[in-house]
Amino acid sequence: MDKNIGFISTRLAGIDGVSLEASKWADVLERSGHRCYWFAGELDKDPQKSFLIPEAHFQHPHNIWINERIFGKTRRPPYVTREIHSLRSFLKTKLRKFIDHFKLDLLIVENALAIPLNIPLGIALAELISETQIPTIAHHHDFYWERTAFLVNAAGEYLGMAFPPNLDNIEHVVINSLARDELARRRGMLATVIPNVLDFNNPPRIEKPWHEEFRASFGLTNGGTVILQPTRIIKRKGIEHAVELVRALNNPHCKLLISHAAGDEGCAYAEWIKYHAREHGVDLRISENRIPSPWNNNGNNSDGYSLWNVYAHADFITFPSLYEGFGNALLEAIYFKKPVLINRYATFVRDIEPKGFDLVTMDGHLTKETVQRVREVIESSARRGEMVNFNYRIARHHYSYAVLQKQLDACLHELFEQASAPEISMDAGHHQYNPYPRKEADLAQLSN
C-alpha cells in the first residue's frame, strides 16, 4: 500500500507551525514506506522531490496585489476577477504537472484550503481535486473565519467554494476540537481531530560542539538565565507578557531570547516589543536570521544548528499567546524537558489542559503569584525536574508519533477504500481553456 504523496501549501519552509507539522507528517509517512514530495511557493526540501512555484507563495507580488483589492473591501472590480482566474489557471497547470511528474496517489494540502492567503491556489486545488477525484487530506490549521483580517471581503463565493471545498474525496483534518465543531456548524462538514505531535519515544539529541557557537551568535554568556520566547513576533503571541515577566523577576542575569525574526505580519509590533523591553530594562535578544527546521535534511544548513538548539540552551519557556490553533511551542518545550509559562488560550483550555500537565499558567495577565511560581521553578532544580519529567510522560501518551501513525493509517484506509474504483487519469479531457470567451465562435467551440 506504499503511496506517492504530494504535500501542497503556499510555503513549506522554516519553523512556522504549518511547515513543521507537514514535516512531521512526512517523517511518519516515510517511516511507513510511503514517498513524499513537495509543492509550494517557498521550500527548504530536497530539490529532487520538490516543485518550487513562486506564484504559489502568499507573498508573491501578484497575490499581494489581489489581496489588497479583496480584503477589507465589499466590491470586487472585474479586472481583479480576471487576475484571480489568470493566476488560478497558471497554478492549476503547475499542480497537474506536479501530480503527473511524481505519479502521485494522494495529496495532503497544508492550510491552503483553510486560510485564503492565496485565493487562486485554493480555487485551483478545489477544481483539480474535484476533476481528478484524487484522494486528498486537507490538513486545516486555522480557518478564515478565525481571523478578523478576512471577515470583510469581496470574495465570498470563492471562500464558500474552496476554503474548504465540500468534496467526497477530501478527508478533512483539524488540529483542535473547537475547529472541528465550528466547521460542522458553518459548513456541515465532518472532520477528524489530529493534534500536533512530536517523537516522544525518541528524546532529542543535541550536537554539543555547536553549544558555544550558538550562544555566542546571540551574545549570550554561560552564566546567564535564558528565558526563551520560541515564536514569531506577531501580536497574538502576547510577547509583551514575556517582557513583563522578565522585568518582574528582577534578576540582572535573566535575558529574554526570541527565536524567530519578524516578517510575515510586518515589523510594527516587533519595534514596539523592542521599545517595551528597553523601557522596562529587559535584556532582549532577537534572532535576526532564519533558524532552520530540525526536519530540513537538504544539506543547506551551513550554520550547523536548528530550532532544537534554541530549546536545548533555554532555562525557561514563555508561551503567553492570546490565540493558537494548537501550540507547537508547548509540545517542543515539553519535549526538551523545559518548564513553561502558558496563557490559557481557548484550545489549551478545551483540548490540552484536561490532560493534566504541570505548568505555570496565567489568565490574560501576570499576577504576583504567577511571577513567584516562575521564580520558584527557575531556582529549584528539584521542582523543575519533577515538573518536566511528569509532563514528558503525559505528552508521550497523547502527542507522540505513534498517535499520529494510527490516525494517518485510518485516514488513508478510508480514502483508498472510497477510491478503489477506476484509476485516475490526469490527462483525460485536458484541453486549453480560455476563461474569458468573447466571440461567438469561442462560445460555439465550447459547446461542441
Whether residues 182 and 214 fall in one domain:
no
- 19 found inside a domain: yes
Nearest 5°: CA angle at 133, between 189 and 30? Answer: 90
Whether residues 186 and 218 fall in one domain:
no
Tell me, what's the pLDDT at 262? Answer: 67
Whether residues 86 and 112 fall in one domain:
yes
- 407 found inside a domain: yes
Whether residues 102 and 244 fall in one domain:
no
Residues forming beta bridges with residue 52, ordered by sequence position: 40
Q: Tell me the C-alpha to C-alpha distance, in Å, between residue 172 and each of 16, 141, 165, 338.
A: 21, 11, 10, 33
Of 282, 290, 235, 279, residue with least CA distance to 257: 282
Q: What is the pLDDT of residues 157-185, one digit of tens each?
A: 999 999 999 999 999 999 999 999 999 99
Residue 30 has pLDDT above 80, yes or no: yes
Whether residues 410 and 394 fall in one domain:
no
Whether residues 228 and 134 fall in one domain:
no
Whether residues 268 and 359 fall in one domain:
yes
User: What are the cell numbers at 437?
Assistant: 470567451
Whether residues 17 and 53 fall in one domain:
yes
Whether residues 117 and 169 fall in one domain:
yes
Tell me, what's the pLDDT at 232? Answer: 86
- 408 found inside a domain: yes
Q: What is the pLDDT of residues 140-160, one digit of tens each?
A: 999 999 999 999 999 999 999
> Which of 202-216, 221-235, 264-278, 294-308 shows the lowest per-residue confidence on average (mean pLDDT)?
294-308
Whether residues 287 and 356 fall in one domain:
yes
Tell me, what's the pLDDT at 431? Answer: 36
- 202 found inside a domain: no
Whether residues 53 and 180 fall in one domain:
yes
Residues forming beta bridges with residue 5, ordered by sequence position: 36, 106
- 392 found inside a domain: yes
Residue 11's domain is classified under what CATH number? Answer: 3.40.50.2000
Whether residues 102 and 156 fall in one domain:
yes
Q: Which domain holds residue 99?
A: 4-197+401-447
The mean pLDDT of the chain is 88
| Overall average pLDDT of the 83-96 stretch | 98
Q: Are 218 and 390 in contact (CB under 8 A)?
A: no
Identify the band that residue 267 occupies on the pLDDT scale cut at 50, 70 and 90.
Answer: confident
Residue 58 has pLDDT above 70, yes or no: yes
Identify the band that residue 436 occupies on the pLDDT scale cut at 50, 70 and 90.
Answer: very low
- 203 found inside a domain: no
Domain boundary among 398, 415, 430: 398
What is the tally of structural domains in the chain? 2
